[in-house]
Amino acid sequence: MENNYNDKQEPQQALHYEEPEYQKGKKQGKHPQTAGILIAAALIALVCGYLGAWAANENAGKVVIQKVSGESGSTGSEGEALAATDAAAAISPTVVSITTEAIQYNQFWYGAQVSSGAGSGVIISEDGYILTCAHVVSGADSILVTDYDGNEYQAQLVGIYENGDIAVIKIEADGLHAAVLGDSDQVQLAETVYAVGNPGGTLGGTITDGIISATERTITVSLDSSQNYGFASMSNTISLDVLQTSTAVSPGNSGGGLFNSRGELIGIVNAKSSGESQEGIGFAIPINTAQEIAESLINNGYYTGETRTESENDAVMNITVSEVGSQVAQLSGAEAGLYVQEVQEGGASDGLLEVNDCIISVKDKMIKTTKQLSNVLAKCQPGETVSVSVERGGRMITVDITLAQNHNLAEGSGDTE
């Protein structure tokens, strides 16, 4: 690539320095304080060197992930949206293409067979940690990463959490362009977003634009994982809370980045709607969820799921709930959602909620699963009053509930909140 810089340097005119008359004839060593100054300077240099070595040792081995500070921090100045071309220049180098190969022995009479796959990933640290989807690298014997500049690297799997469809891989490289992580809790309906990935497995670096179509969706995904030995594939059906976007995504985009107009990573592209007549419907795992999983995989090598535990400081609604998934709903004829199964007498919701109420939202956050309700309540304090909307007998009802302190959990077959 040619540059427009002129490599020729203008010759610089030599500078002539003439010693002042009052300095002529003077010899060094006339001022005894000079030695003291030199010794003090040497001590300062020694202390600075020690502190620098200590700081370097303290940070050794730590993965540096760039996270936006505050609600409106940004890659652009003062949280302002970037021009489309500037956003593309900032985010494109942070996304890589991933090609995988897996050796399978499902049909032994044909011998070993090699199956290949393709996807995308997002660089989250300058030293080579890459965030992607679990289904992109699950079961892979070889993972090849191609960066924005066309450089290829063999990657190693750091950790995988299939129930969240998140994985972390690592390449041996330094000085990479790492994405700046945004705050997916601040994502707003209809804001402009960009998806960057490797559609079709052959078009790495493709960028498409669209909007956030919904900030809270729950989808069911079937993940097939072929076994190296055996005669069949195993299918694992998981439920994911995702962002919905209108950006054009295709097979191969999975694991790629969903960015806001400020160039911040707000999601990991997970899936496209498989409906024959459905277009412009894609989904992404919120970056706050993906980051929590990724940091655990990097630091511990595993992720166990929800880390929050019940304690006396938890804010609760004093109800027991029952989650009805989409499959159960189809069999029973009921609507999928989260239903009130029991209301604790004298509790926070007594006289406000009723058994069989279907919870629609809490604090304007859409609720369909127990996990979503727990996440909302985890950010609340006992004594705080929250707005709760439920569907009751075909009518929408909104009540204000003052949350209680959770001293002990009521027994029941459902989940207590």
Residue from 97, 135, 138, 314 carrying the catalytic annotation: 135
The one-letter amino acid at 134 = A
Distance CA 185, CA 175 (A): 29
Active site residue 149: no
The answer to whether residues 82 and 90 touch, using CB atoms and an 8 Å cutoff, is yes
């002042």: which residue's tokens? 20
The answer to whether residues 197 and 323 touch, using CB atoms and an 8 Å cutoff, is no
Active site residue 72: no
Active site residue 254: yes
| SS3 category, 174 | coil
**Joined tokens for residue 134:** 């679990």
Q: Could you tell me the sign of the dihedral formed by the alpha carbons of 77, 83, 86, 91, in that order?
A: positive
Distance CA 235, CA 226 (A): 9
The answer to whether residues 386 and 403 touch, using CB atoms and an 8 Å cutoff, is yes
**Joined tokens for residue 215:** 């900030």
Distance CA 96, CA 176 (A): 11
Distance CA 340, CA 338 (A): 7
Residue from 165, 183, 241, 314 carrying the catalytic annotation: 165
Residue from 184, 246, 254, 349 carrying the catalytic annotation: 254
Q: Following DSSP, what letter does each residue of 395-416 receive, concatenated?
A: EEEEEEEEPEE-SSPPP-SSEE
- Phi then psi dihedrals of residue 31, to 5 deg: -115, 110
The answer to whether residues 410 and 342 touch, using CB atoms and an 8 Å cutoff, is yes
Q: Could you tell me the sign of the dihedral formed by the alpha carbons of 208, 211, 215, 217, in that order?
A: negative
CB-facing half-sphere around the CA of 299: CA atoms within 13 A: 12
What residues are annotated to the active site? 135, 165, 254
